[in-house]
Amino acid sequence: MARFLLMRLVQSVFTLFLVLAVVFVIARVAGDPVTLLVTFDASQADIDRLREELGLSDPLPQQFVRFMGDALRGDFGTSFRTNRPAMNEVLERVPASARLAGLSLAFSLAISLPLGVLAAVSRGSVVDLFARFLALVGQAAPNFWLGLMLIFFFAVRLGWLPTGGRGGLDHMVLPAIALGTAGAASITRLTRSALLDVLNSDFVVMARAKGLPRRTVIFKHALRNALIPVVTILGLRIGTVISGSVIVETIFAWPGVGRLIIQAINVSDFPVVQAAVTLTASAVILANLLTDIAYMLVDPRIRYVRS
C-alpha cells in the first residue's frame, strides 16, 4: 500500500510539473503582456522599463526557473488588472466555487443514487424507462443551455428564484442544478448498470437464498459493492465540475474561480490565469489521488503493479 501511495504521489507531482510548464509556455507564446499595460502611444523607454520591472526581459530559461521557484511558494506575480497578488485573487474565489461545486455534487448524488437504484431493481418498468430517459436528456443537455432555461422558467417566468449573482442558498439553487445535472445523469446510469451486475452475482443469489429481506440484500450487500465504480466517477466529476463551472459561473454571475479564469483570459491577465489553472489542476490531481486511495480502501485487491 505504501508503495502504491508513493508511486501515485510521484505521478501527481510530475503531472503538476507538466501543468506548470505548459502554463508557463502558453503565457509566453501568446505575446508580450507589456503591450496591454501601456497606452498605444507609449514610448519604447516606457515599454522597456515595465518589461524590466516584470522580469520579462530575462532569458526564457531564467524566467522558467524563477517561475517554478515562485510557483512552489504560491507566488504567481501580480495581477495586471488589479495590481494585487494573483494567487490571492484566486484564493478569494475558492470558497464560492467550492460551495457551488459541493452543492452540485450533493444534488447529483441526491438525484442519481435513488433513481439508479430504483431503475435497477425495477428493470424494464416505467420507472426504469423514466430514469433512463432523464439520464439521457441530462447528459445530452449542455449546461449553458440548461442554465439559461432554468433562469427563464424559475426566475423570469415564475419569479421563484433570483437569476443569479452572489447571495444565499436561493442564489445557488439554479447554478447547482445546471452544474450537477450532467453528473446526476451519468451517476444514475452507472449506479443502475453496476447494481444490475451485482444483483446477478452469486453472493446476492446466496443472500436471497438465505431468505434475507429484499431491502437488506439491495442496500447492505448489493449497493455497497455497486458503489465502487461510482466512487471512481465521483472523483472524476471534480474535474468536470471545475471545467463546467467556468461556463455556469459566467451565466449565473457567480463570482467563483471559473468566472475569474474567463475574465482573466479576456484581458490577458496571465498571472491570474497561471495561478487559477495551477490551483484547479492541483485540485483535480488531488481529487484523483484521493479517489485512487478511496478505491483501494473500498477494494483491497487493488494494488500498484509495475507494467
Residue among 94, 141, 231, 253 that touches another protein (CB under 8 A): 253
Of 2-10, 32-40, 55-63, 284-292: span binding another protein (CB under 8 A)? 32-40
| Residue 84 binding another protein, by CB under 8 A | yes
Q: Which three cell numbers stand for residue 26?
A: 502558453
Residues 127-166 interacting with another protein (rule: CB under 8 A):
148-149, 151-152, 155-157, 159, 162-166
Of 108-116, 178-186, 187-195, 261-269: span binding another protein (CB under 8 A)? 261-269
Residue among 255, 282, 289, 302 that touches another protein (CB under 8 A): 255
Here's the x/- map for another protein, 162-201, by CB under 8 A: it reads as: xxxxx-----------------------------------
List of residues contacting another protein (CB under 8 A):
30-33, 35-43, 45-46, 50, 53, 78-84, 92-93, 148-149, 151-152, 155-157, 159, 162-166, 250-253, 255, 259-260, 262-263, 266-269
